[in-house]
Structure 1
Amino acid sequence: MFCLNIKSQHTPARYFSFCILLTVLLVTLSIRSLQGELFITDAQYMVAAGRWIIANGHLPTTDPLSIHSELTYICQQYPICILVAVLYDTFGEMSVRLFFALLDMVAVLFIWYQTFPKAGNRILHCAVSCVFGAVIVYSLRSTPRALDILCLAVSWELMEKYIESRDIRFLFGFPFLGIFIANLHGALWPCAIMLPLAALLDSKLDSNARAALAVTILLTIASAMLNPYGLDVLSLPFKTIGTSDVATVAVPELKPMFSIVPVEAVILIVISVMPVIFHAKCLGFKKTVFSFETMMISGLLFLSLMTWRNELLLLGILMIVYSTWCWKLEPKCKVSSKMLSRIVLFSISVVALEFGAVLFYSTLSATDQKSISLERAFQAMREDGAVSGTAVLTDIDPGCRAELNGFKPYLDTRIEVFNGQNGQKNVLAEAGKALSSGSLSAICDDYGMDYAVLNYGINDVGIQDLKESGFKPVYSDNLTVCLKRSTV
């Protein structure tokens, strides 16, 4: 369908580009692995959720992991949760790290493969792929966000083919993408309709083509409802937008970019505007502005500036856009077809790939000090007599580690559960007030929590309040403290 036949005379350049890109990705992922970012809090929560689903044989509708069991809950990544739970309990943490690393690489390599045939300048294409690919996999970490980028990449290819051919069969793929993304990463189901929405304003399309796109959008939305939670999944993207309590519980990815990373926001604006200007000079102002490419860049730039986490989607689109520049640029350096050149290219690429693979493998089992400290704190809690299901006061990050260890925390990373949507209790507002004032002992009294696991540096006032209220250290290092009520 995608017509990705790469000419044989480009085979040496193709292998070289692939090996260099894969090496860059492996090295980048090695760095993230050393930082503990291939098994972050979200992955820990997903393992705990998958275990619960396997043990109970059905999907939960109220929160099964925290102490707030009355809150409505949607397990939006249930197939991933089940898979990572099986991997973790069968092969250990290394297998989960490897799974997410492979997922990240597949998303980037698909875009590389998708755009390679359109690149006239293979060196520029390789450089663009390496730069954007490294930034993307560095940012993805252990989440299903790679699936969102993959969904957009497939959508882009389908939309290009439809605009070129007006063959309605290319639109049939969007409803299937809706089902795919709604079940694997429900909160990002709109990825399946972004391209059809952007193409509605494309100047190359007539009214009949736009009508077909409108029908496609409706069918894709309907198909997204084919998930275990039905219509409720469609509301997920709006449950983490606009809550004023996010700032108090340190979730930077849900904040506007200019409030968190202003320099990065400016850079993102610049690199988003550049391809629009480039295409305007090549194709004319009207054709450029009223094109699905520009609409996608503009829409995702707006969403990224509004909420930092959307930057990943824009980076995936920009990787495609910058890579497809290459067909407009004449290659200034062509790879010789002589056998010697091919041998040199092959040798360099193999050596580079082997280096990246060895480095990546050597870091798969590495664990950062923060994760080690938290694990020791919960181990000390268990050795002190705490059993599975014991309630424990935590902030967001320690909460997911608590769930991984079988305990029920006060908070974890699932903002959509705790932010008071649909008239439910606003745990974030309560937590934000308690954490900012340091009055954590009152929270422990209200919920009957006899243990607390908190990080030094951000919860120092609250830790002191607990100690003054009769909590004694069970474990403590320079990063984490585990406290226990002295009357227990």
Structure 2
Amino acid sequence: MKITTTCAVTTSGDSFLRRAATRQEFWLLLFGLSLFSMVALIGVRLLADADTLWHIAAGNWILANHAVPTTDPFSFSFRGQKWIPHEWLAEVVLAISYAWLGWSGPVLVTALATSLALVVLLAFLLRYIEPLHAFTGTVLAYLTLIQHLLARPHTLAWPLIVIWIAGIVLARERGKHPSLWLVAVMLAWANMHASFLLGIVLGVALALEAVLTAGNPVRTAKAWAPFLALTVTAGLMTPNGIDGVLFPFHVAGMSYTLSIIREWQPPVIGLLQPIVVWLGVVLFGALYFGFRLPATRIAMFFGLVYLALSAARYAELVGLLAPLLLMPAVGPQLRAAIRPEVKARLSLRCLQIITLLATVLFLASAIFLGKGIQRDRDLTLPKDAVRAALAAGASGPVFNSYNFGGYLIFSGIAPVIDGRADLYGDKFVRRYMEAYSGKAEALQALLQEYKIRWAILEPTSPAVHVIRDLPGWRKVHEDAVAVAYVLHP
């Protein structure tokens, strides 16, 4: 017996909402507006990473000089040395958004990029599975983004990542080579974030899959060759050239630095970790339904899982890309395995409620962003400490906490170190950490070599206990955020 359930019985005539209930575009729009609103309403938490500040400063430098820097213009310890600004395009976007809308600007573009990436993912999944399962898969993907959801360049690259892989996978399903318009996506991606190299690797893997499974391998290889050649060319068409392609390998070789930066460390495995929830649901579904997948897609999936388990910052890659790679094979099997006896149908009343809630959320986020985001009481910024130090006569090189480097650059002050660990390298980062951790000889050697005359540190920094006992150093400010010391002759 077939049972139909409804939220409310209605016999009203055709209306926009009733017709929209059957239109995929309407649901995608509602989902996008709701997701944009939820991300935007996070507000200042999207700005909690100190790197956002120096990214905006870098964008301002590029706009002011009409060029992308090739050497470091910000620190005093590495000024003039080679620097690879591999995220320059995203930095320009962040800088422009900040110039137009203040702190609401970076929040706005972050919410737009996140919602666009997930809407494209949802539209892709709806091609293969039922809406309920597609929404579930998209929500799981969102969970993998949460811990790395920040107003930084990697977030702005998310839509490009999804569009790129979705385009290639769809081409594979049609038995054709990818459209050349995807080359433009790669060009933007390469100038926005270093993760573009993963896109090239997956593009080559999918091309190899096409050749191995084709009836005429030679013809297939010839069809894919121009696309791959243009893709690699696009990856090289950045101000950094070959250095941009080699950049991820340079970072991967910084073993010491990666071991102390939280987002580069393996995720702490716990029941509440998003990546654990995602993997748990995927493995349960795979084992319960007995999905069969092509060996090539299994290999790609394992590669993404390896990345996610090797560094917490890669969790979003498996969340966004695994559904794109697996769903063409999983979708038909899932449809065949699930034969619901109860079919739910949304009535006009239910649709009105959902539309109203999405509209209210969107208007609330618009009002929130329109009022502007204030960071006067932001506990992540050492504003008062810097102000007090400058008032006390601080000048010249400063010894700062790693997390304060972004704020100093944003304020026009050259730090000893900041979030651009790739610039400083393992050797200097290790030396800095020895000084910061309170090793007196290392700290004094650093102070003397760079003629450092003031310091901005967290109150809990071990270096504070060394500096306070050095001759001539005087504390001029201390609060919950930072402590400031100035060297007086």
Same structural fold, with TM-score higher than 0.5 when normalized by the shorter chain: yes
SS in structure 2 opposite 1:126? helix
Structure 2 residue 414 is the aligned partner of structure 1 residue 408 = yes
How many Å apart are 1:233 and its aligned residue? Answer: 0.6
Partners in 2 of 1:27 and 1:447 — Cα distance? 46
Contact 2:473/2:486 (8 A) holds in 1: yes
Distance 1:91 1:17 in 2: 27
The alignment status of 1:217 with 2:228, answered yes or no, reads yes
Equivalent residue number for residue 250 of structure 2: 239
SS in 2 for 1:245: helix
Displacement of 1:367:
4.0
CA contact (8 A) 2:90 2:156 kept: no
- Deviations 1:165-198, CA, capped at 9 Å, x for gaps: 3323x25244333322111223543324424324
Q: In terms of mean alpha carbon deviation, does 347-356 or 306-315 score higher?
A: 347-356
Indicate yes or no: 2:318 matched with 1:314: yes
2:191 is the counterpart of 1:183: yes
Q: Decide whether the 8 Å contact of 1:44 with 1:400 is kept in 2.
A: yes
Question: 1:357 and 1:332 mapped to 2: Cα distance?
Answer: 38
Work out which of the residue numbers 444, 449, 456 in structure 1 matches 2:447. 444
The structure that is helix-richer by fraction is 1
Cα 1:382–1:278 shift into 2, 3 Å: farther
In 1, Cα distance between the equivalents of 2:387 and 2:115? 34
Deviation of the 1:156 alpha carbon? 2.8
Deviations 1:263-315 (A, max 9, x none): 64655544454565578x35x4xxx14243x3332111112222322221111
SS in 2 for 1:402: helix
Percent identity among equivalent residues? 18
Structure 2: how far apart are the matches of 1:199 and 1:331? 37
Q: CA deviation digits over 1:369-393, x for unaligned, max 9?
A: 6545412222333444557xx4321
Contact preservation (8 Å) 2:476, 2:485: yes
Where does structure 1 lack aligned partners over 5 or more consecutive residues?
A: 1-6, 421-425
Give distance in 2, aligned partners of 1:354 and 1:112.
Answer: 22
Match of 1:346 in 2: 352
2:180 match: secondary structure: helix
Q: 1:19 and 2:30 equivalent?
A: yes
- Structure 1 residue 449: deviation in Å? 1.8
Identify which of 86, 102, 108 aligns with 1:92. 102
Paired position in structure 1 for 2:476:
474
Q: Is the 8 A contact 1:245 1:432 kept in 2?
A: no
Residues of 2 paired with 1:276 and 1:205: CA distance?
27
1:274-285 paired onto structure 2 within 5 Å? 274=284, 277=287, 281-282=290-291, 284=292
Alpha-carbon distance change, 194 to 379 in structure 1, aligned in 2, over 3 angstroms: farther
CA contact (8 A) 2:121 2:324 kept: yes
Q: Residue type of the partner of 1:375?
A: K
Q: Secondary structure at the match of 1:37?
A: helix
- Structure (1 or 2) with the larger CA radius of gyration: 2
State the Cα deviation string for residues 215-235 of structure 1 (Å, max 9, x = none): 643442232111112111101
| Aligned match of 1:484 | 486
2:166 is aligned with 1:164: no
**Mapped pair 1:52 → 2:61:** yes
SS in 1 for 2:350: helix
Tell me which amino acid in the other structure corresponds to 2:250.
K
Contact 1:255 1:306 survives alignment (8 Å): yes
Residue aligned with 1:427, SS:
helix
Return the letter of the residue paired with 1:217: L
Kept in 1, the 8 Å contact 2:459–2:483? The answer is yes
CA pair 331-151 structure 1, distance change in 2 beyond 3 A: farther
1:450-465 equivalences in 2 (<5 Å): 450-457=453-460, 459=461, 461-465=462-466
SS of residue in 2 equivalent to 1:140: coil
Give the 5 Å matches for 1:349-368. Answer: 349-355=355-361, 357-358=363-364, 361-362=367-368, 365=373, 367=375
Q: Give 2:447's aligned amino acid.
A: C
C-alpha distance in structure 1 between counterparts of 2:339 and 2:36, whole Å: 27
Alignment length (residue pairs): 456
Please say which of residues 188-197 and 44-53 is displaced more in the overlay.
188-197
Alignment of 1:280-429 (within 5 A): 281-282=290-291, 284=292, 288-292=293-297, 294-320=298-324, 328=335, 329-330=338-339, 334=343, 336=345, 341-355=347-361, 357-358=363-364, 361-362=367-368, 365=373, 367=375, 371=379, 373-385=381-393, 390-420=396-426, 426-429=427-430
Distance in 2 (CA, whole Å) between partners of 1:267 and 1:348 is 27
Question: Aligned AA for 1:475?
Answer: H
Deviation at 1:77, TM superposition (A): 1.9
Q: Given the superposition, is the C-alpha separation of residues 42 and 277 from structure 1 closer, same or farther in structure 2, using an over 3 Å criterion?
A: same
SS at match of 1:407: coil
- 1:405 Cα deviation from its structure 2 partner: 0.5
Aligned 8 A contact 1:254 1:307 in 2: yes
Aligned alpha-carbon RMSD (Å): 3.2
- Check the 8 A contact 2:51/2:152 in 1, yes or no: yes
SS in 2 for 1:150: helix
1:466, distance to aligned residue in structure 2 (A): 0.9
